[in-house]
C-alpha cells in the first residue's frame, strides 16, 4: 500500500499456492538461543497461514476483522511454537483460530449486554472481580487437594514458605536440579487441575489428563508419545483447555500495551519494557539490552506502518522471562530472511534493526504478510539464580 512492499518473483511463486490473489506469506524461524523449548517451529507457522485464514474467513465475514483475528491467531501460535511438538502445530493452530473467533463473539456479546452501563458511572467491574478472585482462590485450593501429599508440600514449601531448591534438595535427599524439575511437573499438573476445577468439568476420556499434562509441561517428547495432536482434534474439552495451558504470553493481566504512532512512542515502548524487565528481576545490563531491542523493532512500526502496538508481558513458565510482541498492519516485509541478514537493513529498507534486535534477545521470530502487516515476537529468559 505504500509502494515498497514489492516482492521478488521467487518468493511470490513459492508461496502463491493456496492463497489466490494478493498475499504472499513469509515467515522465518530464528533458532532460539538457549531456549528451553528447543527449536521453535515458526517456519512451520508460515505453512499454516492459508489454513488459519480459511478457518477465520469461514466464520467472520468482515475482511478487516478477519485479518485482525488471523494476526492474533498467528501471534499466539508463534508464541506457543517453542512449547509444542512440531507435528502438533497444525491442530494447535486450528484450535487457536476457533478460540480466537469465539472469544471475539463473546467480547462483542458482552459489550452489547453491558452497553447500558456506559451511562452508569460507578466502576462496574469491581463486584465481579471480587467474586472472580474468591472463585479463583477456591479453585486453586481445590486443585491443590488433587496433588499428591509430597507434591503439594514441596510446592508449598517453595512457593509459600520461600524455601529455595537447594534447601529443599537437602531436606529431601535429592539434587537442586531434580527438585526444580519436579516442581515444574507439579506446577504443570496444578495448572491442569486448576483449569478442570474452574471450568467445573471432568475429562471425558482417559487420554485427556495425560495429553493436558504433556501440553501444560511443554514436554514435547511426551506430547508425541500420547499423540496429543490427534487428541486435540478429537476432543473439544482439551481443544479448549490447551490454549491457556500453553501459557506463554497468557499472563495478559501483567501485559503492558503501548500504542505506537510517533517517534515518542518508541521511547514509551522501551521504557515500558524497562519497567517490566526490572520488575522481573533482570540485571541492569539485561534491562538495557531489552530496551535497546524494543527500540529497534518499535522504530520499524513508526517508519514503515502508520500505526501498531507493542505488548510487553511477563512470562512465568517454564521460567521467568519477558515477552515482547510488536505488531503493525503495515505493508509487510517481502523477504524476512534477507531482512534478518546483517548489512541488508539500511535506513531506507524494511526490516531495519531486525538483525541487531535478534542478537540482543534469546528468542526472535517474525511473521510478515505483504500488505497485511508484520508481527515480531521476542523473548528473553532470566538466567538461573
Partner 1 sequence: MNGGPRLFSILRQGPYLIASIHTALDDSQLVRFQQDLVERIGSDRARGVVIDVAALDVLDSFASRTLRDIGEMARLRGAVTVIVGIQPDVAFAMVELGMDTGRVVTALDLEEGLAELDSHVTAPPAPRT
d(CA 199, CA 148): 21
Residue ranges with strand state E in the chain = 25-30, 256-260, 308-315, 321-328, 363-369, 373-381
> Does 299 sit near partner 1 (CB under 8 A)?
yes
> Does 292 sit near partner 1 (CB under 8 A)?
yes
Among 195, 266, 311, 313, binds partner 1 (CB under 8 A): 266
> Does 66 sit near Zn ion (CB under 5 A)?
no
> Does 284 sit near partner 1 (CB under 8 A)?
yes
The residue (of 60 and 273) whose beta carbon lies closer to partner 1 is 273
> Could you tell me the smallest distance in angstroms from the CB atom of residue 221 to Zn ion?
19
Helices and strands per DSSP (H, E), number in the chain:
16, 6
> Does 280 sit near partner 1 (CB under 8 A)?
no
> Does 285 sit near partner 1 (CB under 8 A)?
yes
The footprint of partner 1 on this chain (CB under 8 A) covers a number of residues equal to 27
Among 264, 279, 341, 384, binds partner 1 (CB under 8 A): 264
Of 96-104, 127-135, 168-176, 356-364, the window that binds partner 1 (rule: CB under 8 A) is 356-364
Of 82-90, 114-122, 321-329, 350-358, the window that binds partner 1 (rule: CB under 8 A) is 350-358
> Could you tell me the smallest distance in angstroms from the CB atom of residue 127 to partner 1?
41
> Does 19 sit near partner 1 (CB under 8 A)?
no
Question: How many other CB atoms are there within 10 angstroms of residue 251's CB atom?
Answer: 14
> Does 241 sit near Zn ion (CB under 5 A)?
no
d(CA 74, CA 336): 16
**Binding partner of residue 164 among Zn ion, partner 1, none, CB cut-off 5 to 8 Å per kind:** none
> In 3-state terms, what secondary structure has residue 351?
coil
Q: Is the peptide bond before 318 cis (omega within 30 degrees of 0)?
A: yes
> Could you tell me the smallest distance in angstroms from the CB atom of residue 209 to Zn ion?
8
Among 287, 312, 326, 333, binds partner 1 (CB under 8 A): 287
Q: Report yes or no: 348 and 341 within 8 Å, Cβ to Cβ.
A: no
d(CA 169, CA 154): 10
Among 51, 176, 181, 267, binds partner 1 (CB under 8 A): 267
Grid-cell match 503439594, residue found: 152
Binding-residue pattern over the window 188 to 227 for Zn ion, x denoting contact by CB under 5 A: --------------------x-------------------
> Does 176 sit near partner 1 (CB under 8 A)?
no
Question: How many other CB atoms are there within 10 angstroms of residue 120's CB atom?
Answer: 9
The secondary structure of residue 350, as a DSSP letter, is T
Q: Is 59 exposed, middle or buried (0-12, 13-18, 19+ CB in 10 A)?
A: middle
Q: What are phi and psi of 204, to 5 degrees?
A: -70, -25
d(CA 151, CA 2): 57
d(CA 116, CA 122): 12
Binding site for Zn ion (CB under 5 A): 208, 235, 238
Binding site for partner 1 (CB under 8 A): 262-264, 266-267, 270-271, 274, 284-285, 287-289, 291-292, 295-296, 299, 302, 342, 347, 352-353, 355-356, 359-360
Amino acid at each position: 500500500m505504500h509502494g515498497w512492499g514489492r516482492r521478488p518473483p521467487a518468493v511470490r511463486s513459492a508461496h502463491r499456492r493456496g492463497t489466490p490473489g494478493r498475499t504472499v506469506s513469509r515467515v522465518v524461524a530464528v533458532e532460539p538461543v538457549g531456549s528451553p523449548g528447543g527449536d521453535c517451529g515458526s517456519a512451520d507457522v508460515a505453512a499454516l497461514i492459508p489454513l488459519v485464514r480459511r478457518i477465520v474467513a469461514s466464520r467472520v465475514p468482515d475482511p478487516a476483522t478477519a485479518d485482525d483475528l488471523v494476526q492474533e491467531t498467528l501471534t499466539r501460535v508463534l508464541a506457543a511454537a517453542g512449547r509444542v511438538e512440531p507435528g502438533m502445530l497444525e491442530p494447535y493452530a486450528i484450535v487457536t483460530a476457533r478460540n480466537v473467533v469465539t472469544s471475539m463473539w463473546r467480547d462483542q456479546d458482552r459489550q452489547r449486554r453491558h452497553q447500558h452501563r456506559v451511562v452508569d458511572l460507578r466502576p462496574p467491574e469491581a463486584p465481579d472481580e471480587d467474586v472472580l478472585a474468591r472463585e479463583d482462590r477456591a479453585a486453586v485450593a481445590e486443585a491443590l487437594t488433587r496433588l499428591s501429599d509430597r507434591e503439594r508440600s514441596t510446592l508449598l514449601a517453595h512457593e509459600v514458605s520461600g524455601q529455595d531448591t537447594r534447601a529443599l534438595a537437602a531436606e529431601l535427599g535429592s539434587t537442586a536440579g531434580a527438585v526444580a524439575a519436579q516442581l515444574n511437573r507439579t506446577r504443570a499438573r496444578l495448572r491442569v487441575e486448576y483449569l478442570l476445577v474452574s471450568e467445573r468439568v471432568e475429562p471425558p476420556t482417559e487420554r485427556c489428563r495425560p495429553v493436558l499434562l504433556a501440553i501444560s509441561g511443554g514436554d514435547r517428547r511426551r506430547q508425541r508419545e500420547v499423540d496429543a495432536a490427534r487428541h486435540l482434534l478429537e476432543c473439544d474439552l482439551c481443544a479448549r483447555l490447551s490454549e491457556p495451558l500453553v501459557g506463554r504470553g497468557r499472563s495478559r493481566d501483567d501485559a503492558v500495551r503501548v500504542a505506537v504512532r510517533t517517534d515518542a512512542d518508541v521511547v514509551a515502548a522501551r521504557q515500558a519494557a524497562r519497567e517490566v524487565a526490572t520488575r522481573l528481576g533482570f540485571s541492569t545490563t539485561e534491562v538495557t539490552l531489552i530496551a535497546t531491542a524494543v527500540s529497534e523493532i518499535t522504530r520499524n512500526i513508526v517508519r514503515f506502518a502508520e500505526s501498531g502496538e507493542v505488548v510487553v508481558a511477563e512470562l512465568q513458565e517454564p521460567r521467568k522471562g519477558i515477552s515482547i510482541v510488536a505488531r503493525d498492519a503495515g505493508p509487510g516485509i517481502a523477504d524476512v530472511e534477507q531482512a534478518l541478514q546483517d548489512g541488508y537493513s539500511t535506513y531506507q529498507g524494511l526490516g531495519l534493526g531486525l538483525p541487531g534486535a535478534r542478537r540482543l534477545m534469546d528468542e526472535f521470530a517474525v511473521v510478515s504478510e505483504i500488505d497485511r502487516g508484520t508481527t515480531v515476537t521476542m523473548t528473553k529468559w532470566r538466567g538461573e539464580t
